[in-house]
Every structure is written in C-alpha cells, then in structure tokens.
C-alpha cells in the first residue's frame, strides 16, 4: 500500500505561507531531515501554486548531494484545474482529486507533499494523509495562510516522533488515529 506524507514548514501560530521566516533557523539538521524526506519518496504530490513556485526555481539549481537532481527527476502529480500543459516531469490530476490520490495510494509508492495547504486539507479530510511531518519554527508570523483551515479536516493524531534542532525548530511527526 502506498503512503502520502505531508512535510510542512509551520510557524508557532500555524502560518505556512511564504516561509521566508524559516531562513534564520534552517541548519544542517533540517537540511538532513528534508534530504531524507525527499530521498525516501517516489513522487511529489503538489497543489498548483506550490508546483508553479517549485517549477520556476528548482530546474536552475544544483548541489553536490544530489537534492536538486532528485527534486527535478521525481514524477510530480499536480492538483490543478487551470493549467493545461504539464512540464517538469509532471502529470495533472484529472477529475476528483481524492479519488485520484486514493488510486495512487493503491500502489507501493510514497508520495511527498510540500506546501500545498489546500491540497493537504482536502486530502486530510478524506483520510488520505498517512503522516504529517511538521517543522514548527519558533516565530509568530501573525497573518498568512494557515496549514489547517476550516475545510472540515477533523480527527485525532498520534505523535509518532519528536525532536528539536539546535536552532529551536521542533520536528513533529503525527499519524492519524484510525
């Protein structure tokens, strides 16, 4: 059975939009965490906005560790109703997003979601997210898009793992209670 993992940057007050505020706290521990997440994944599952942002940035990047090559090479499944021409190794999800993702999960692949709050909330409300890996940054942002909105996402989670970085970021992994 496949797995859907949401990995998110979140401020202490729940904001996940435009996480430039994460920069001062990003260190080798978080870099390693992100590396491990990406390299254990078989595909990326993205909303349109995140896909467009990643697509405009990642193809021009390179690094010695191979992170950029992996990011650029993975298949991407994109939830969109407005884009018509897939690029950057992407396929657009057609029809009902929850049904399409349920079909993805019927295979053996692990799909990673970054950003894409609307997609995370939609899939979570359908019980399709297997893990939430949250990097909680010690900042209060105030305004902005919150990771968990009022979309009907409800339910209990179990803390599977917790750790903190030297820079004060809490990395929390939760799984839904079934």
As a three-state string, the secondary structure of 109-138 is CEEEEECCHHHHHHHHHCCCCCEEEEEEEC
Q: What is the pLDDT of residue 152?
A: 61
Q: What is the pLDDT of residue 154?
A: 72
How much is the average pLDDT of 32-54?
96
- The two tokens of residue 143 are 């305004």
Query: Do the bridges between strand 131-137 and strand 170-176 make them parallel or antiparallel, or are there none, so unpaired?
Result: antiparallel
Model pTM score: 0.93
Q: What is the pLDDT of residue 149?
A: 76
CB 56 within 8 A of CB 15: no
In tens, the pLDDT along 80-133 reads: 999 999 999 999 998 899 999 999 999 899 999 999 999 999 999 899 999 999
Query: Do the bridges between strand 157-164 and strand 90-93 make them parallel or antiparallel, or are there none, so unpaired?
Result: unpaired
In the chain, where the domains are located: 3-176
Question: For 20-29, 133-142, 147-156, which range has the lowest pLDDT when averaged over its residues?
Answer: 147-156
**3-176 architecture in CATH?**
3-Layer(aba) Sandwich (3.40)
Torsion of CA 105, 110, 111, 115, to 10 degrees: 130
Q: What is the pLDDT of residue 1?
A: 78
């Amino acid at each position: 059975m496949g797995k859907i993992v949401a990995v998110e940057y979140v401020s202490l007050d729940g904001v996940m939009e435009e996480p430039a505020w994460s920069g001062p706290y990003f260190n080798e521990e978080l870099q390693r965490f992100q590396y491990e997440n990406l390299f254990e994944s078989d595909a990326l599952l993205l909303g349109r906005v995140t896909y467009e942002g990643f697509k405009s940035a990642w193809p021009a990047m390179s690094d010695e560790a191979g992170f950029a090559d992996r990011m650029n090479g993975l298949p991407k499944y994109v939830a969109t109703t407005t884009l018509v021409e897939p690029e950057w190794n992407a396929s657009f999800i057609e029809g009902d997003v929850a049904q399409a993702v349920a079909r993805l999960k019927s295979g053996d692949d692990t799909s990673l979601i970054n950003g894409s709050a609307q997609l995370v909330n939609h899939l979570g409300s359908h019980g399709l997210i297997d893990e939430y890996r949250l990097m909680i940054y010690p900042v209060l942002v105030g305004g902005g898009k919150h990771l968990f909105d009022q979309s009907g996402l409800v339910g209990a989670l179990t803390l599977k793992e917790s750790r903190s970085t030297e820079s004060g970021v809490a990395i929390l992994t939760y799984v839904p209670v079934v």
